[in-house]
Amino acid sequence: MGLDFSYVRQAFPFILEGAARTVEISVMAFALALLIAYAVGIARAKHIPRWLAFPLRAYVELFRGTPLLVQLFLIYYGLPQIGIVMGAWTAGVLGLALNSGAYMSEIVRASLLAVDRGQAEAAEALGYGRLQALRHIVLPQATKIALPPLTNSLASLLKESSLVSIIAITELTRVGNIIYSRTMAPFEIYLTVAFLYLLMTAVVSVVSRRLERTSRAWAAS
């Protein structure tokens, strides 16, 4: 028995539309996750008062310690029960961003701590204020360190975004499910879906490698 891609070919515009939504939701969630990661990561790398440190740590531990799927259920189905209602799209973006943000904040925090302490001191000795030193001296160096793992997070996020298919967002995986339910031929459609995910993560890899190369000039030794 051979594979028959004729229906996949016919439904290809629909599939591409799903892929576009996957990219869309991933990019939005990643942008939000970056904001969260830098805010939380910077705060946690600094000496901050306990009333602020505790909730930030709790956030990171909670979102890293529970499954994304459960988090999505809690946001989309659970929150309305206490009066917080949001659309599937918003819930999907928020869930993905909060989840990735927790992991990525640890990347940012570790990268900040990896920058030689002497850099901040040299800046301080030159008269930079704390925030000025962070912004002009420490953060650019930390970002260089964080770049490869952060792009890695983007690739993960692209793949994990398939989970939002279960809260009725018609992205790539859900399109696959819909086509499967019509054709009862899972192999063809899921192969196609898998290939499209691979294509997306490959693009991320290429961009990441290029970014690393351009910032390597000052890290030659």
Partner 1 sequence: MGGFLEVTDVRKSFGNLLVLDGVSMSLDPGEIVMLIGSSGCGKSTLLRCINGLEKVDSGDVRIKSETLQGNAREARRARKSVGTVFQHLNVFPHLTVLENVANPLRVVRKMNKPEAGERALRELARVQLSDKLHSYPAQLSGGQKQRVAIARALAMDPEIMLFDEPTSALDPEIAAEVLDTIRDLADLGLAMILATHQVNFISSFAHRIVFMADGRLTADGTPHEILVENTDPRLTRFLARLRENT
User: Binding residues for partner 1, per CB under 8 A?
Assistant: 116, 118-119, 121-129, 132, 136-137, 140-141, 144, 217-221
* Residue 143 vs 170, nearer CB to partner 1: 143
Please state, in angstroms and rounded to a whole number, the distance separating the CA atoms of residues 143 and 104.
Answer: 12
Radius of gyration, alpha carbons of the chain? 21
Please state, in angstroms and rounded to a whole number, the distance separating the CA atoms of residues 85 and 78.
Answer: 9
Q: State both tokens at 40.
A: 């939380």
Q: In the bound complex, what is the minimum distance in angstroms from residue 141's beta carbon to partner 1?
A: 5
* Residue 65 vs 127, nearer CB to partner 1: 127
Q: In the bound complex, what is the minimum distance in angstroms from residue 130's beta carbon to partner 1?
A: 9
Q: In the bound complex, what is the minimum distance in angstroms from residue 31's beta carbon to partner 1?
A: 24
Q: Within its chain, how far is the Cα of 93 from the centroid?
A: 10
* Residue 4 vs 116, nearer CB to partner 1: 116
Q: Which amino acid is at 147?
A: L
Q: In the bound complex, what is the minimum distance in angstroms from residue 219's beta carbon to partner 1?
A: 6
H-helix or E-strand spanning residue 40? helix 12-45
Please state, in angstroms and rounded to a whole number, the distance separating the CA atoms of residues 185 and 201.
Answer: 25
* Residue 61 vs 116, nearer CB to partner 1: 116
